[in-house]
């Protein structure tokens, strides 16, 4: 029995009349939410709604417990050493910006180098461009080969004693390739013990078991909405000793210990990075989503992603005018299949498929430097998750095969 047979019933969005027959294959952008996540958010507002961390009355204490228990769930999910290493943010983009504006601006000096890869999302490019410009540091790019692989020779030639930060996606949102983060981190730490490794885990955490210690990550960012959690909540993991020596990003309520007219002392981590009223319901929803995925099993989800990618890639390969971008091995796509069709703009592909009730993404996927490297302005992307069925993937392939005909090609 497939995972979709077991768990698709948990997603009410597929049951409403407006979505009848819709094949949703834009999971790399955002996943759907199971009813248990929606219920967890609703229960918080119905039963425990109060400002966490600020009140001594019962409701606020319960809200605080909900919020901090959620932090512990997130920490265990990625195998952090303690819950204090988890900072709640709005999303992975905010998490990456937080590292850049705090640790990056504080510790990167003139002449230092920051290493990123050619396949990064803009959220893992723009913050480091900002740091390099502000600090007169150098941005160094890791290039991939024709199979979307960053070779050992490539990262060993680019990471040097001048490298202060390596920031890299664990899984590419275009290729779906899993980068050799563990090997890159080990090499970077060996070449320069002061170098820190920042991992963009937005695409990996929903689809595979992520262990920050096994990866060698000093920081790791991810978003809730890509792993069946609510929008507007994300997390940043940071090694506690790094967080403790880093200045806060935002200043305001709750992130302080004591304030005078002239100065202030900050609260202990993680609270010194969480100024203002927090997204407590989002944290609760994120924790519920994580528990849900763990009950399914990340290993099963990863295997299922591979199976669906195989169906799609083998089906698309039967059409000579369709070109899959990235590795030829379906097991190296994490359920993401990015492609082009000869003579058809990706926006037209998406619009035509939408008329057939197939929802995919088209555009540059917030990875314009990679598009420039590939020599294309944009691509189409189908991305699977465990609630997608094999029949949905076959329907997608069938519709793609007809796109050129519908555009008037013979």
Q: List the catalytic residues.
A: 366
Please name which of 85, 66, 54 lies closest in space to residue 269, comparing C-alpha atoms: 85
Longest CA–CA span in the chain (Å) reads 76
Please name which of 67, 54, 75, 86 lies closest in space to residue 252, comparing C-alpha atoms: 54
SS3 267: coil
SS3 237: strand
Taking the C-alpha atoms of 229, 230, 233 and 234 in order, what is their torsion angle to the nearest 10 degrees?
A: 30
Measured from the Cβ of residue 243, the count of other Cβ atoms closer than 10 Å reads: 23
Q: What burial letters (b/e) apply to 247-283, b meaning 16+ CB within 10 Å?
A: ebbeeeebbbeeeeeeeeebbebbbbbbbeebbbbbb
For residue 339, list its beta bridge partners. 324, 380
For residue 173, what are its two tokens? 């949102």
- Separation of alpha carbons 331 and 117, rounded Å: 21
- Separation of alpha carbons 126 and 136, rounded Å: 15
């Amino acid at each position: 029995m497939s995972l979709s047979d077991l768990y698709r019933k948990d997603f009410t969005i597929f049951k409403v009349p407006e979505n009848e027959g819709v094949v949703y294959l834009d999971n790399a952008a955002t996943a759907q939410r199971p009813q248990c996540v929606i219920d967890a958010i609703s229960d918080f507002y119905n039963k425990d709604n109060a400002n966490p961390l600020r009140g001594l009355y019962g409701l606020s204490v319960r809200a605080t417990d909900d919020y901090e228990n959620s932090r512990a769930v997130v920490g265990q999910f990625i195998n952090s050493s303690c819950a204090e290493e988890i900072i709640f943010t709005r999303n992975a983009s905010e998490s990456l910006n937080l590292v850049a504006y705090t640790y990056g601006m504080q510790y990167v000096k003139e002449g230092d180098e920051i290493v990123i890869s050619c396949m990064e999302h803009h959220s893992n490019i723009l913050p480091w461009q900002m740091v390099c410009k502000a600090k007169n540091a150098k941005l160094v790019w890791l290039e991939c080969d024709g199979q979307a692989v960053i070779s050992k020779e490539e990262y060993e030639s680019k990471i040097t004693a001048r490298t202060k930060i390596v920031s890299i996606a664990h899984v590419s949102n275009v290729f779906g390739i899993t980068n050799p983060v563990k090997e890159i981190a080990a090499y970077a730490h060996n070449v320069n013990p002061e170098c820190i490794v920042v991992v963009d885990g937005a695409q990996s955490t929903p689809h595979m078991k992520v262990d920050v210690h096994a990866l060698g990550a000093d920081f790791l960012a991810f978003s809730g909405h890509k792993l069946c959690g609510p929008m507007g909540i994300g997390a940043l993991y940071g090694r506690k000793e790094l967080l403790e020596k880093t200045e806060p990003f935002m200043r305001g309520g709750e992130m302080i210990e004591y304030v005078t007219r002239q100065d202030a002392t900050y609260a202990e981590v993680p609270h010194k990075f969480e100024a203002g009223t927090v997204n407590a319901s989002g944290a609760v929803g994120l924790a519920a989503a994580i528990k849900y995925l763990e009950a399914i099993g990340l290993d099963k989800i990863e295997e299922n992603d591979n199976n669906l990618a195989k169906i799609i890639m083998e089906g698309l390969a039967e059409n000579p005018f369709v070109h899959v971008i990235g590795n030829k091995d379906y097991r190296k796509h994490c359920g993401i299949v990015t492609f082009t069709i000869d003579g058809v703009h990706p926006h037209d592909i998406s619009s035509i498929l939408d008329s057939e009730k197939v929802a995919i993404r088209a555009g540059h996927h917030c990875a314009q430097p990679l598009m420039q490297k590939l020599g294309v302005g944009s691509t189409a992307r189908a991305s699977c998750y465990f609630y997608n069925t094999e029949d949905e993937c076959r329907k997608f392939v069938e519709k793609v095969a007809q796109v050129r005909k519908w555009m008037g090609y013979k």
